[in-house]
Amino acid sequence: MANYYDMLGVSKDASEDEIKKAFRKLAHKHHPDKGGGDEKKFKEINEAYQVLSNKEKRHQYDQFGQTFSGNGSGQRSGFGGFEGGQASGFDFSGTGFEDIFSEMFGGAGRSGGRVRAGADIQVDVEIAFEEMVAGVKKELRLRKLARCHVCDGTGGKPGSQADTCGDCGGSGQIRRTVQTIFGAFAQAAPCERCHGRGKAYKEKCADCHGAGRTEQEEQITIEIPAGVHDEQTLSMRGGGAAGEDGAPAGDLFINIHIRPHTFLKRQGDNIVSSLDITFAQAALGDKVTVQTVAGDVVMKIPAGTQPGEVFRVRGKGVPHLGHFGRGDHLVTVHLKIPKKLSREERELIEKLGKLDM
């Protein structure tokens, strides 16, 4: 069987949020009750998610693989997976699956505890190489759905009377039966008249037209930590669009792009650069100035240095992301050969060449 991480399309060091996001996306795509769904793939990704979303099971899986609890019967008791192909093998509690099921089939109203969360938002942010090393704060202007400032998300005109909804009797939800591959489920869907609030306002808010949300422009400050990697995605919980009827807001995902430096490059948490030295400096030794992200540093070139040697300037690299300390600055020296020589220089080099070295 394929690796669980590969099933979800995530790396072995993926965070809990990354695993959950990957599962939600694949579950929507492969659910058998949706057009083009794939029951086999749906079962596989659910089994993978039940393992990787549980810290203890994930730790065991990383140590022993998928066979650590196998008993030859097809049941993966350690993973809470399928048993004999029946739905009894599912353990949805705490996995986030109920959230996805709710999204697919309407969910419950506010009083049922299930309303649709706001959409996630992704933005791209470019920073300089020096900002990557030092960390930086950036101001972003986002246009997104936010709670209506006029009605404070209620959807009713301020001062308007709210009566108990006649369609749902104030419960905020309409119950219905949904047929799935796992059998019939009693599902509570938000009342369309009151949008799950349980109350219907006689007059709707003129600003949001009863939706409780409006499109607004918002300025936020994000803090990009020192040592962030190129193409890394940072997340800000609750920074996305406002949810429906008071549901939690979505998340904001920030994709980081780092502009290349003119002569410095990053290798892991080390910074590398090159330095040209003369034959005299290589043979006799010298002290040279090296440009680092922390300023100029004087570095000693010992006598007899060979072309291509690498010297280490400790502690002048990239900070370790999320940890103390930082990498080093590695300098590769190259021998600089002059293209043109004066008569005196030529004579000296010729004399040098005749010596037995």
Q: Is residue 241 part of a domain?
A: no
Q: Is residue 180 part of a domain?
A: no
Q: What is the CATH number of the domain that holds 37?
A: 1.10.287.110
Tally of structural domains, the chain: 2
Give the DSSP H/E element, type plus range, for residue 284: helix 279-284
Q: Is residue 188 part of a domain?
A: no
- Summarize the confidence of residues 210-224 as an average pLDDT: 91
Q: What is the CATH number of the domain that holds 338?
A: 2.60.260.20
Q: Supply the range of the domain harboring residue 69.
A: 1-105
217 three-class SS? strand
Q: Is residue 235 part of a domain?
A: no
Q: Is residue 207 part of a domain?
A: no
Share of the chain above pLDDT 70, in %: 81
How far is the C-alpha of 165 from the C-alpha of 191, rounded, in Å?
9
Q: Is the pTM of this model over 0.75?
A: no
CA atoms within 13 A on the CB side of 67: 2
Which of 56, 86, 105 is the last residue in one of the domains?
105
Q: What is the pLDDT of residues 257-267, one digit of tens each?
A: 999 999 999 99
- Summarize the confidence of residues 206-210 as an average pLDDT: 88
Given this model, what pLDDT does residue 43 score?
83
Q: Is residue 135 part of a domain?
A: no
Which of 88, 105, 122 is the last residue in one of the domains?
105
Which of 78, 105, 132 is the last residue in one of the domains?
105
Beta bridge partners of 290: 297
Which of 7-21, 110-124, 146-160, 343-357 is least confident? 110-124
Q: What is the pLDDT of residues 68-124, one digit of tens each?
A: 443 333 333 333 333 333 333 333 434 444 445 544 444 433 434 445 788 899 999
Share of the chain above pLDDT 90, in %: 41
Given this model, what pLDDT does residue 162 score?
82
Q: What is the pLDDT of residues 271-281, one digit of tens each?
A: 999 999 999 99
Q: Is residue 171 part of a domain?
A: no
30 three-class SS? helix
Mean pLDDT of the chain: 81
Residues 166/19, Cβ–Cβ less than 8 Å: no
- Summarize the confidence of residues 161-181 as an average pLDDT: 78
Q: Is residue 227 part of a domain?
A: no
Q: How buried is 168 (Cβ within 10 angstroms: 0-12 exposed, 13-18 middle, 19+ buried)? A: buried
